[in-house]
Amino acid sequence: MAYRRALTDGSLPAAEAPGCLSALRLMVADRDAPGRLVPKALEAGVAGCREEVRTAHPGGGRPVHVLEQSLPRDVRDLRRGIRQRTIYQHTVRSGLTTLAYIERVTTEGAEVRTLAEVAGRIIVFDGDLAFVPFSDEPHRALRIQHPALVRFLARHFDEAWARAVPVRPERVPLRTPVVTSDPQRTILQAVVGGETDESIARRLGMSRRSVAEHVRRISERLGSNSRAQLGCLIATSGLLSGLLEA
Protein backbone atom coordinates (compact mmCIF):
# COMPACT_ATOMS: atom_id res chain seq x y z
CA MET A 1 0.00 0.00 0.00
CA ALA A 2 1.12 3.55 -0.71
CA TYR A 3 0.63 4.73 2.86
CA ARG A 4 2.62 1.82 4.27
CA ARG A 5 5.44 2.60 1.86
CA ALA A 6 5.33 6.26 2.94
CA LEU A 7 5.63 5.25 6.59
CA THR A 8 8.61 3.04 5.74
CA ASP A 9 10.40 5.48 3.41
CA GLY A 10 9.40 8.66 5.20
CA SER A 11 7.80 10.30 2.15
CA LEU A 12 6.18 9.62 -1.21
CA PRO A 13 6.06 11.43 -4.57
CA ALA A 14 2.80 13.37 -4.74
CA ALA A 15 1.98 11.79 -8.10
CA GLU A 16 2.07 8.29 -6.57
CA ALA A 17 -0.17 9.05 -3.59
CA PRO A 18 -3.90 8.22 -3.89
CA GLY A 19 -6.08 11.29 -3.50
CA CYS A 20 -7.87 9.80 -0.51
CA LEU A 21 -4.67 10.02 1.57
CA SER A 22 -4.56 13.78 1.18
CA ALA A 23 -8.32 14.13 1.65
CA LEU A 24 -8.12 12.28 4.96
CA ARG A 25 -5.04 14.30 6.00
CA LEU A 26 -3.02 11.10 6.25
CA MET A 27 -0.46 12.65 3.88
CA VAL A 28 0.60 16.30 3.72
CA ALA A 29 3.06 18.31 1.64
CA ASP A 30 6.69 18.02 2.68
CA ARG A 31 7.90 21.56 3.39
CA ASP A 32 11.51 20.55 2.79
CA ALA A 33 10.93 18.63 -0.45
CA PRO A 34 8.44 20.16 -2.93
CA GLY A 35 6.51 17.56 -4.89
CA ARG A 36 6.60 14.98 -2.10
CA LEU A 37 4.14 14.07 0.64
CA VAL A 38 4.85 12.87 4.17
CA PRO A 39 2.60 10.81 6.46
CA LYS A 40 0.98 12.88 9.25
CA ALA A 41 -0.52 10.48 11.73
CA LEU A 42 -1.04 13.31 14.22
CA GLU A 43 -3.67 14.91 11.99
CA ALA A 44 -5.42 11.56 11.70
CA GLY A 45 -5.40 11.28 15.49
CA VAL A 46 -7.04 14.69 15.81
CA ALA A 47 -9.70 13.79 13.26
CA GLY A 48 -10.40 10.48 14.96
CA CYS A 49 -10.65 11.85 18.51
CA ARG A 50 -14.05 11.07 20.02
CA GLU A 51 -14.06 12.44 23.58
CA GLU A 52 -10.93 14.14 24.90
CA VAL A 53 -7.45 15.33 24.00
CA ARG A 54 -4.78 16.00 26.63
CA THR A 55 -1.70 18.01 25.68
CA ALA A 56 1.37 19.17 27.62
CA HIS A 57 3.83 21.69 26.17
CA PRO A 58 7.21 22.47 27.78
CA GLY A 59 9.00 25.76 27.22
CA GLY A 60 7.58 29.26 26.95
CA GLY A 61 5.07 30.77 24.55
CA ARG A 62 4.41 28.88 21.34
CA PRO A 63 5.37 30.29 17.90
CA VAL A 64 2.77 32.49 16.20
CA HIS A 65 2.53 30.30 13.10
CA VAL A 66 1.88 27.20 15.21
CA LEU A 67 -0.94 28.93 17.09
CA GLU A 68 -2.43 30.23 13.87
CA GLN A 69 -2.49 26.71 12.44
CA SER A 70 -3.87 25.18 15.62
CA LEU A 71 -6.66 27.64 16.39
CA PRO A 72 -9.19 26.75 13.64
CA ARG A 73 -8.72 23.03 14.26
CA ASP A 74 -9.02 23.39 18.03
CA VAL A 75 -12.15 25.53 17.81
CA ARG A 76 -13.71 23.07 15.38
CA ASP A 77 -13.02 20.14 17.70
CA LEU A 78 -14.33 21.97 20.74
CA ARG A 79 -17.53 22.77 18.90
CA ARG A 80 -18.03 19.10 18.05
CA GLY A 81 -17.88 18.26 21.74
CA ILE A 82 -14.24 17.24 22.24
CA ARG A 83 -12.91 18.08 25.70
CA GLN A 84 -9.50 19.74 25.52
CA ARG A 85 -7.10 20.05 28.46
CA THR A 86 -3.70 21.69 27.99
CA ILE A 87 -0.78 22.24 30.34
CA TYR A 88 1.82 24.96 29.65
CA GLN A 89 4.60 26.38 31.79
CA HIS A 90 3.94 29.47 33.89
CA THR A 91 6.05 31.58 31.54
CA VAL A 92 3.30 31.59 28.87
CA ARG A 93 1.34 33.93 31.13
CA SER A 94 3.63 36.78 30.12
CA GLY A 95 3.32 36.04 26.39
CA LEU A 96 0.53 38.08 24.80
CA THR A 97 0.28 35.90 21.68
CA THR A 98 -0.16 32.66 23.60
CA LEU A 99 -2.51 34.34 26.07
CA ALA A 100 -4.67 35.56 23.18
CA TYR A 101 -4.85 32.01 21.85
CA ILE A 102 -5.71 30.68 25.33
CA GLU A 103 -8.46 33.27 25.74
CA ARG A 104 -9.97 32.25 22.41
CA VAL A 105 -10.02 28.51 23.08
CA THR A 106 -11.15 28.81 26.70
CA THR A 107 -14.09 30.87 25.46
CA GLU A 108 -15.00 27.83 23.38
CA GLY A 109 -14.71 25.52 26.39
CA ALA A 110 -11.05 24.44 26.48
CA GLU A 111 -9.32 24.11 29.86
CA VAL A 112 -5.76 25.42 30.29
CA ARG A 113 -3.48 25.24 33.31
CA THR A 114 0.19 26.00 33.96
CA LEU A 115 3.07 24.56 36.01
CA ALA A 116 6.56 25.82 36.79
CA GLU A 117 7.97 22.85 34.88
CA VAL A 118 6.56 20.53 32.22
CA ALA A 119 8.64 17.38 31.84
CA GLY A 120 8.01 16.81 28.13
CA ARG A 121 5.59 17.19 25.26
CA ILE A 122 2.67 14.74 25.39
CA ILE A 123 -0.50 14.39 23.35
CA VAL A 124 -3.10 11.80 24.34
CA PHE A 125 -6.26 11.21 22.31
CA ASP A 126 -9.06 9.59 24.27
CA GLY A 127 -7.51 6.60 26.03
CA ASP A 128 -6.11 4.69 23.08
CA LEU A 129 -3.62 6.86 21.19
CA ALA A 130 -0.68 9.03 22.26
CA PHE A 131 2.25 10.89 20.75
CA VAL A 132 5.60 11.79 22.35
CA PRO A 133 8.68 13.43 20.78
CA PHE A 134 10.79 11.19 18.58
CA SER A 135 14.34 11.67 19.91
CA ASP A 136 15.55 15.25 19.33
CA GLU A 137 14.35 15.49 15.73
CA PRO A 138 11.98 18.43 15.20
CA HIS A 139 8.46 17.87 13.87
CA ARG A 140 8.68 14.10 14.42
CA ALA A 141 6.75 12.13 17.02
CA LEU A 142 6.42 8.54 18.18
CA ARG A 143 2.90 7.14 17.77
CA ILE A 144 1.86 4.97 20.73
CA GLN A 145 -1.14 2.63 20.76
CA HIS A 146 -0.13 0.08 23.39
CA PRO A 147 -2.98 0.30 25.97
CA ALA A 148 -0.69 0.15 29.02
CA LEU A 149 1.61 2.90 27.72
CA VAL A 150 -1.28 5.14 26.73
CA ARG A 151 -2.86 4.69 30.18
CA PHE A 152 0.49 5.50 31.82
CA LEU A 153 0.83 8.73 29.84
CA ALA A 154 -2.77 9.70 30.57
CA ARG A 155 -2.23 9.15 34.31
CA HIS A 156 1.03 11.14 34.16
CA PHE A 157 -0.88 14.02 32.56
CA ASP A 158 -3.75 13.82 35.08
CA GLU A 159 -1.35 13.95 38.02
CA ALA A 160 0.33 17.05 36.58
CA TRP A 161 -3.10 18.56 35.85
CA ALA A 162 -4.13 18.19 39.51
CA ARG A 163 -1.09 20.26 40.56
CA ALA A 164 -1.42 22.91 37.85
CA VAL A 165 -2.88 26.43 38.16
CA PRO A 166 -5.91 27.33 35.97
CA VAL A 167 -5.49 30.09 33.40
CA ARG A 168 -8.41 32.47 32.99
CA PRO A 169 -7.13 35.33 30.79
CA GLU A 170 -10.23 37.47 31.27
CA ARG A 171 -9.95 37.35 35.06
CA VAL A 172 -6.31 36.79 35.98
CA PRO A 173 -3.59 39.48 35.64
CA LEU A 174 -0.49 38.52 33.71
CA ARG A 175 1.53 38.27 36.90
CA THR A 176 -0.24 36.58 39.81
CA PRO A 177 1.32 35.80 43.21
CA VAL A 178 1.15 32.08 42.46
CA VAL A 179 3.02 32.43 39.20
CA THR A 180 5.66 34.68 40.72
CA SER A 181 6.41 32.45 43.70
CA ASP A 182 6.45 29.05 42.00
CA PRO A 183 9.24 29.72 39.45
CA GLN A 184 11.25 31.54 42.13
CA ARG A 185 10.95 28.56 44.44
CA THR A 186 12.11 26.27 41.62
CA ILE A 187 15.04 28.56 40.85
CA LEU A 188 16.11 28.59 44.49
CA GLN A 189 15.92 24.81 44.71
CA ALA A 190 17.99 24.54 41.52
CA VAL A 191 20.64 26.91 42.91
CA VAL A 192 20.89 24.79 46.06
CA GLY A 193 21.30 21.77 43.78
CA GLY A 194 24.21 23.43 41.97
CA GLU A 195 22.55 24.07 38.61
CA THR A 196 23.75 26.84 36.32
CA ASP A 197 21.59 29.74 35.15
CA GLU A 198 21.57 28.30 31.65
CA SER A 199 20.34 24.90 32.85
CA ILE A 200 17.61 26.48 35.00
CA ALA A 201 16.46 28.72 32.14
CA ARG A 202 16.20 25.75 29.80
CA ARG A 203 14.13 23.75 32.27
CA LEU A 204 11.73 26.59 33.08
CA GLY A 205 11.37 27.99 29.57
CA MET A 206 12.74 31.34 30.73
CA SER A 207 15.51 33.52 29.38
CA ARG A 208 18.92 33.17 31.02
CA ARG A 209 18.82 36.89 31.82
CA SER A 210 15.57 36.48 33.79
CA VAL A 211 17.03 33.63 35.82
CA ALA A 212 20.21 35.63 36.47
CA GLU A 213 18.11 38.56 37.69
CA HIS A 214 16.24 36.33 40.16
CA VAL A 215 19.56 34.98 41.42
CA ARG A 216 21.10 38.47 41.68
CA ARG A 217 18.20 39.76 43.77
CA ILE A 218 18.31 36.90 46.24
CA SER A 219 22.11 37.16 46.44
CA GLU A 220 21.81 40.81 47.47
CA ARG A 221 19.08 39.97 49.95
CA LEU A 222 21.15 37.27 51.64
CA GLY A 223 24.50 39.04 51.32
CA SER A 224 26.11 36.27 49.31
CA ASN A 225 29.55 36.69 47.73
CA SER A 226 29.62 33.51 45.63
CA ARG A 227 27.35 30.95 44.01
CA ALA A 228 28.43 28.23 46.43
CA GLN A 229 27.78 30.50 49.42
CA LEU A 230 24.39 31.45 47.98
CA GLY A 231 23.32 27.82 47.76
CA CYS A 232 24.28 27.29 51.38
CA LEU A 233 22.50 30.47 52.53
CA ILE A 234 19.30 29.56 50.67
CA ALA A 235 19.30 26.08 52.19
CA THR A 236 19.68 27.45 55.74
CA SER A 237 17.64 30.66 55.45
CA GLY A 238 14.17 29.14 55.56
CA LEU A 239 13.19 30.77 52.26
CA LEU A 240 12.21 27.43 50.75
CA SER A 241 9.78 26.73 53.57
CA GLY A 242 7.53 29.58 52.51
CA LEU A 243 6.79 31.76 49.52
CA LEU A 244 9.44 34.19 48.37
CA GLU A 245 8.03 37.67 47.93
CA ALA A 246 8.62 39.40 44.61
Give the 3-state secondary structure of residue 100: helix
pLDDT in tens, 119-148: 888 999 998 899 888 766 555 678 888 999
Gyration radius of the chain's alpha carbons:
21
- Residue 152, pLDDT > 60, answer yes
* Domain architecture of the chain: domains with CATH: 2-39 (no CATH), 50-166 (3.30.870.10), 177-240 (1.10.10.10)
Contact 138, 83 (CB under 8 A): no
% of the chain beyond a pLDDT of 90? 22
Point out the least confidently predicted range of 4-8, 13-17, 176-180. 176-180
Residue 104's Cβ-count burial label (10 Å; 0-12, 13-18, 19+) is middle
In this structure, the number of other CB atoms found within 10 A of the CB of residue 223 comes to 9
pLDDT-derived band at 90, boundaries 50, 70, 90: confident
pLDDT in tens, 194-231: 889 999 988 888 889 989 988 888 887 777 778 887 88
Q: Is 190 left (phi over 0), alpha (psi -120 to 50) or beta?
A: alpha
**Greatest extent of the chain over all pairs of C-alpha atoms, in Å:** 69
pLDDT-derived band at 236, boundaries 50, 70, 90: low
pLDDT in tens, 14-23: 888 777 766 6
- Residue 157, pLDDT > 80, answer yes
pLDDT-derived band at 67, boundaries 50, 70, 90: confident
What's the predicted TM-score (pTM) here? Answer: 0.60
